[in-house]
A = this chain, B = another copy of it.
């Protein structure tokens, strides 16, 4: 997936999420309309993975054009739409967290990681503010079980200078009652350097 130079409006961002949700619609060819299917499909997983990168780039763009307040507002919208903090603690281990604050199981901890500016998380400088311009991902394997899907692979992020950051990434997506996929697991780590 390549999303170079994404410049989207907030409306577009919402559209991306809406698209991910729309993919949920089951065709139900075999049974007409009289079917309910709460399972996650592979297409939905792929759409959610695309949406995650689009959202990250959107926060970076909003930071550049609208400053911290705009970036923070977008980050909050992303957390509320695409993460599962409304369902319970999220299993979130961001790439760059340390010490007693490695795991960000609360929304506040996730927001601090993405945009910083929270005195309760003093080491956070805002991962999503680093001027990301391009996003690619490559799955090593995917496991789908009911309304939960887990993926493992690499994510590649490119900043304005062209520098690429590669991370080992695990996601868990849970489909909610409205058909939206929400991230309930997110383990990100830099490659091991012997």
Tally of chain A residues near chain B (CB < 8 A): 62
Per-residue contact bits, chain A 144-161, to B (CB 8 Å; 1 contact, 0 not): 111110111110000000
Which listed residue, B28, B29, B146, B152, touches A145 by the CB 8 Å rule?
A: B146
Near B by CB (< 8 A), chain A positions 7-56 give 26, 28-31, 33-40, 42-43, 45-46
Cβ contact within 8 Å between B146 and A36: no
Q: Is A81 an interface residue (CB 8 A)?
A: no
Q: Is A91 an interface residue (CB 8 A)?
A: yes
CA of A176 to CA of B179, assembled, Å = 12
CA of A100 to CA of B169, assembled, Å = 15
What's the minimum C-beta distance from A73 to chain B, rounded to whole angstroms?
Answer: 25
Known: A103-B153, A140-B105, A146-B148. A98 touches B177 (CB 8 A): no
Known: A170-B185, A177-B177, A187-B189. A145 touches B145 (CB 8 A): yes
A interface residues with partner B (beta carbon < 8 Å) = 26, 28-31, 33-40, 42-43, 45-46, 84, 87-93, 95-98, 102-103, 105, 139-148, 150-154, 168, 170, 172, 174, 176-177, 184-185, 187, 189-194
